[in-house]
Structure 1
């Protein structure tokens, strides 16, 4: 007897830092719950060159599922990075200008069942947000607040932004969805959260003032006792629901899109040979290249005086140049940046080095700046 399988979905993992557009060192594995679900639903999980795919066993018509899991299904995958530091060096993981990535954050991706795509050329891009931590569904949450108010309001919302009770009385009666917490003697607050009657997944803890006019504290969390304590860098949820009604329909196409960092480039040109006169000579950086790939033709301006009154490298005269726009990080180096002197045809140096993407990138006035030292 032949076993027939049809693809449920494909998920590509993309990164625009790389020339081929595919992320490197990012892997997905099904969670423990999803492993059980795949096994019971006669489904297969496979890695493919562009990401992952899930297939389901079918009847002879290659459409009807051999085991029908119904219309409401959640498949969860754990995301891991083989070289986290390298990945963080090249990847912009800020959720927004006010919600910036920190090393303790968990990456979270989720599809929208109402926006499913079956077009491999235009897959549905999964939404992205940062989570603060992973925990089991029974835990004690302790926190402190600026000003240490005597009382605060404590609430928890599920992923549909619906308030949920975080415990119940001995007789089974659910607690109120809004609790009033008193400040403890050490100026902190603490509350046990019991959501074992709720599904695993994303929740939001919100602390408000007693007048209910101001949010004082907020955390985005993922509750799953089998994931808690594991070294997980991210979580991916693929959700099917009754409204969408497309779990065993045409193959869905999804994509995770990682974006490269961008930074202002700062060249620190150092008169190491002492054969140049920074006071008399005029230096410039010219971009003799063309707009190729993600790069455009850039201009560079001198920062401060010449030589710099504020910057010396090893006590040597230095000129500081800065690009007038951010330049994207990219696997292929930018070429044809030239250091010129007195507008001469031949540059002092051609093909100036690019910043190391494995190096430290500074933040200046809210923007990233990459420093490159050039000794002449």
Structure 2
């Protein structure tokens, strides 16, 4: 009987601190068609596991040597999608940094550092994302505008290593100059065809400069160029890269982790005196958080905003009192309990467990802070 041996090439797990067990649910990671072809040619398997996915390769009897040995220079690409994108975007902090905020149309790009491989399952290589501006086909027309609308600008295309590449060829096949002059259209926009069909898939950056001044940069955008991915609505792209200089392909099983963190928002309660059970002229509403400190929530103070009732805000013409948390509260799959609405005199409980914000609801930005609005009718 012939035994078939498979060895793990790498494991990739995905975590999210919104979930109590830290395991992100509702996300699908899958190899691209090209990566699927590479895996089949290398007698490798893509397998989903509860924490993410693993790649296995068919090995010789020693359970180490591959039956089919691929090039040591290798990139495997995987797409990322989520079941409920609206909720995921609501609860997840996708900002690249304090100065690089996620915005609609951005794509999350993850890639490992081939020189910082971890083989420790308890301490995997943590892969953080950068935000890119979208995907493009290998042949596309780049439309853009710039401030001031000068008559001409310069356009430069560079690869992910920062090397300037030609944006196409002449009719006779001669590469175009590394810098292209682009004239303004009649509507003050600009457009230029970019031809990267003879270049590998991956990240490319387009930089728009002043026609003569290198220090004046009007615009810079980064795209993942792939004819396959340009037609897909992907949330993110993951590249796992092997380099011959590191010699990690077919070595000990590598361990990677994509880590997501939860957003936090100011909770803003709109308490609407619908049934007139409270006489706001003589009774005073307040919110008290009785929750004990935990790893997920801390006690929060809620402060009334404006008068009681609010002088300028009413809901459907009814008296409204507004309360706002003094500090942001993180999203978490287990609701925050024991936030009580009370009235004085008498310290009477009107609502023993105030509702939490809907995790797929609207999150507003107010003066640089994220706010979740919650409406309570009494």
The question of a shared fold, defined as TM-score above 0.5 by the shorter chain, is answered with yes
Deviations, residues 254-296 of structure 1 (Å, cap 9, x unaligned): 1112222211001112222323232332322111111223111
Deviations, residues 68-118 of structure 1 (Å, cap 9, x unaligned): 213211000111222222322322223234433333222221111122111
Aligned to 1:6: 7
The answer (yes or no) to whether the contact 1:156–1:203 under 8 Å persists in 2 is: yes
Aligned to 2:69: 68
Normalising by structure 1, report the TM-score: 0.95
SS at match of 1:308: coil
Aligned to 2:93: 92
Aligned to 2:141: 140
Distance 1:186 1:274 in 2: 58
Deviates further, 272-281 or 125-134: 272-281
Aligned pair partner of 1:285 in 284, 287, 300 = 287
Counterparts of residues 181-260 of structure 1 (less than 5 Å): 181-210=182-211, 211-260=213-262
Quote the offset at 1:343 in angstroms. Answer: 6.7
Distance 1:107 1:217 in 2: 20
Aligned pair partner of 1:310 in 305, 309, 312 = 312
Deviations, residues 292-322 of structure 1 (Å, cap 9, x unaligned): 2311111111111222112112222221110
SS at match of 2:230: coil
Deviates further, 163-172 or 230-239: 163-172
The answer (yes or no) to whether the contact 2:338–2:354 under 8 Å persists in 1 is: yes
SS at match of 1:142: strand
Distance 2:185 2:360 in 1: 45
Q: How many corresponding residue pairs?
A: 376
Deviates further, 25-34 or 127-136: 127-136
Aligned to 1:108: 109
State whether structure 2 residue 41 is matched by structure 1 residue 40: yes
SS at match of 1:347: strand
Deviations, residues 27-76 of structure 1 (Å, cap 9, x unaligned): 11111111111111111110111111001111121111212213211000
- Which ranges in structure 1 are unaligned for 5 or more consecutive residues? none
Aligned to 1:340: 342
Distance 1:2 1:16 in 2: 41
The answer (yes or no) to whether the contact 1:167–1:175 under 8 Å persists in 2 is: yes
State whether structure 2 residue 376 is matched by structure 1 residue 374: yes
Distance change >3 Å, CA 253–CA 352, structure 1 → 2: same
SS at match of 1:348: strand
The answer (yes or no) to whether the contact 2:272–2:377 under 8 Å persists in 1 is: yes
SS at match of 2:122: coil
Quote the offset at 1:170 in angstroms. Answer: 4.6
Deviations, residues 168-202 of structure 1 (Å, cap 9, x unaligned): 34554433322222223332222221222221101
Aligned to 1:30: 31
Distance 1:343 1:155 in 2: 70
The answer (yes or no) to whether the contact 1:153–1:212 under 8 Å persists in 2 is: no
The answer (yes or no) to whether the contact 2:59–2:66 under 8 Å persists in 1 is: yes
Aligned to 1:52: 53
